[in-house]
Amino acid sequence: MTHLDALIDPGTDHTATTCLACGADRRIGHLAACPANHPEATDLLVETPAPGTRRTWLISGLKHNLTPARRHRFSTQIPELHWVRPVDKPSLPFSVGALVNEIVPRMGITKGLSAIGSNALASVPVTDCGCTDVWRCRCDFDTHPFRNAHPDLWPEYPLIGFKVRYRSGWSLMWLLDTGLGAVWVAEDYTTTPAVPIPITRRCYLDWCDTCPGHAKPADGGEPSPCACRCHQSTPA
């Protein structure tokens, strides 16, 4: 990805009209490398929050991640999430459960969904300013008059997390519940060693405490001992 200095500029001048991603003014439009010039682009910025983990800020969540301040506000809420596992048949708040039932199948992560994170108090303030050019909107800057707008124009959107298993690693997907749907803001991906075979679905999804100990092959043959390392005995 091409480095764009404007993406890491803290930004204090609310009167500017330059693009918050590439720094180009309206006369130019956007620089050639700016994602605003590429309708097919999905990624805004990639960071490394921890060794081996890649955090991708997504263009789908542009209104919530385009500046360092927005990314900071969002990131500080992630540790506040409370996690539950579908295998435990948890009782989720109605709004969270309804949203999960609607978007998880559409995201194609039903089989890999290991855990769901939510917390009504883990929310992010968002401007309901009506700006049509999101790439240049500065209404959330500390120096902008919109900071003093009516509280109804500063809704708080709760954060939701999905922990998803893939053969080569784990994905943590971070979304905001807007009340009418969800906005996918960021994704953390951590590469892990290859999954041992055979393995039960429960160990595959990190539900090792519920594993029956034997994996049934897809062809219907005799079950084999699950190869997950959780079954390996520790020498005395």
pLDDT score of 51: 94
Flag whether 196 is in a domain: no
Q: Are residues 178 and 208 in the same domain?
A: no
Same domain for 179 and 226, yes or no, is: no
Query: Is 57 part of any domain?
Result: yes
One domain for residues 218 and 125 = no
Q: Are residues 13 and 102 in the same domain?
A: yes
Query: Distance between CA 184 and CA 194 in Å, rounded?
Result: 27
Residue 236: what pLDDT? 45
Number of folded domains in the chain?
Answer: 2
The verdict on residue 55 lying in a domain is: yes
Kindly give, in sequence order, each residue whose CB lies less than 8 Å from that of residue 211, ignoring residues fewer than 6 positions away. 200, 202, 203, 226, 228, 230, 231
Residues 77-96, mean pLDDT to the nearest whole number: 95
Q: Kindly state whether residues 159 and 224 are assigned to the same domain.
A: no
In this structure, the answer to whether residues 179 and 88 fall within a common structural domain is yes
Share the mean pLDDT of the chain: 92
38 and 142 co-located in one domain: yes
pLDDT tens by residue, 63-74: 999 999 999 999
Residue 208 sits in the same domain as residue 136: no
pLDDT value at residue 144: 92
The per-residue pLDDT for range 96-126, each reduced to its tens digit, is: 999 999 999 999 999 999 999 999 999 999 9
Same domain, 186 and 97: yes
Q: Specify the range with the lowest mean pLDDT, choosing from 3-7, 54-58, 140-144.
A: 3-7
The band of 4, judged by pLDDT with boundaries at 50, 70 and 90, is confident
- pLDDT at position 82: 97
| 46 and 123 in a common domain | yes
Q: Helix, strand or coil for residue 53? A: strand
> Of 213, 200, 179, 187, nearest to 61 (Cα)?
187
Average pLDDT estimate for 2-31? 82
| Alpha-carbon span 40 to 54, nearest angstrom | 21
Containing domain of residue 212, as a range? 201-231
Find out whether the peptide bond into 198 is cis, omega within 30 degrees of 0: yes
Position 220 in a domain: yes
Task: Between 216 and 76, name the one with better pLDDT.
Answer: 76
Q: What is the pLDDT of residues 201-228, one digit of tens each?
A: 999 999 999 999 998 877 777 889 999 9
Co-location of 142 and 171 in the same domain: yes
**Do 212 and 97 reside in the same domain of the chain?**
no
pTM value is: 0.91
pLDDT given at position 8: 74
> pLDDT confidence of 1, banded at 50, 70, 90?
very low
Q: What is the mean pLDDT of residues 57-64?
A: 96
In a domain, 109, yes or no: yes
In a domain, 14, yes or no: yes
* Residue 236 falls inside a structural domain: no
pLDDT in tens, 127-155: 999 899 999 999 999 999 999 999 999 99
Q: Is residue 89 part of a domain?
A: yes
Q: CA-CA distance, 111 to 121, in Å (whole number)?
A: 28
